[in-house]
């Protein structure tokens, strides 16, 4: 059975007919070809598929496409300003928080949410905040460092 949905993804409007059993992950990757949204466990455990749904991070593998009618969705591409990388992305690169990169788009979306919603935080807050995003490469030390560096950018007004 097909269900009509309208969404705004990274600022662009889409009208689609989706299978009732399709997930948000399916339509982002397979139909809209947004390949930064990674398919990992498909069980809500790894966070590789994290996107912002109406501004909040969700595992897109756990959300049915039919549920997102009328919603606004942001993937890591939505943080770009033209060809310009977001300061948070640059902080990940500069602080060596990316190795294989499989977890990275999801981690960045969670970090973006945390930075925009926590006025201040401790390292422990950050560790808890990103606990739903598994990274098997970095050991998290550099990810925490990158998020803290990004906070300095945000506090200095270098942010969007």
Binding site for ligand FES (CB under 6 A): 39-42, 44-49, 59, 61, 98-104, 135-138
CB of 3 to ligand FES, least distance (A): 21
Non-local (6+) Cβ contacts of 119 within 8 A are none
| 45 versus 84: smaller Cβ distance to ligand FES | 45
Non-local (6+) Cβ contacts of 24 within 8 A are 51, 53, 58, 60, 61, 63, 64, 65, 67, 68, 73
Enter the DSSP assignment of 30. Answer: I
CB of 75 to ligand FES, least distance (A): 13
CB of 43 to ligand FES, least distance (A): 6
| 47 versus 78: smaller Cβ distance to ligand FES | 47
CB of 143 to ligand FES, least distance (A): 8
Q: Tokens standing for 115?
A: 């930075």
């Amino acid at each position: 059975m097909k269900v009509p949905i309208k969404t705004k993804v990274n600022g662009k409007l889409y009208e689609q007919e989706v299978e009732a059993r399709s997930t948000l992950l399916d339509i982002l990757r397979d139909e809209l070809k947004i390949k930064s949204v990674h398919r990992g466990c498909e069980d809500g455990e790894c966070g590789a598929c994290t996107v912002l749904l109406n501004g909040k991070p969700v595992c897109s593998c756990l959300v049915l496409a039919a549920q997102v009618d009328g919603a606004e969705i942001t993937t890591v591409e939505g943080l770009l300003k033209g060809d310009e990388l977001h300061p948070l992305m640059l902080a990940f690169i500069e602080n060596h928080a990316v190795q294989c990169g499989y977890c990275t788009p999801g981690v960045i979306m969670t970090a973006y949410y945390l930075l925009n919603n926590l006025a201040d935080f401790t390292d422990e807050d950050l560790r808890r905040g990103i606990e739903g995003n598994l990274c098997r490469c970095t050991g998290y030390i550099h990810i925490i460092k990158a998020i803290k560096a990004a906070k300095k950018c945000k506090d200095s007004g270098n942010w969007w």
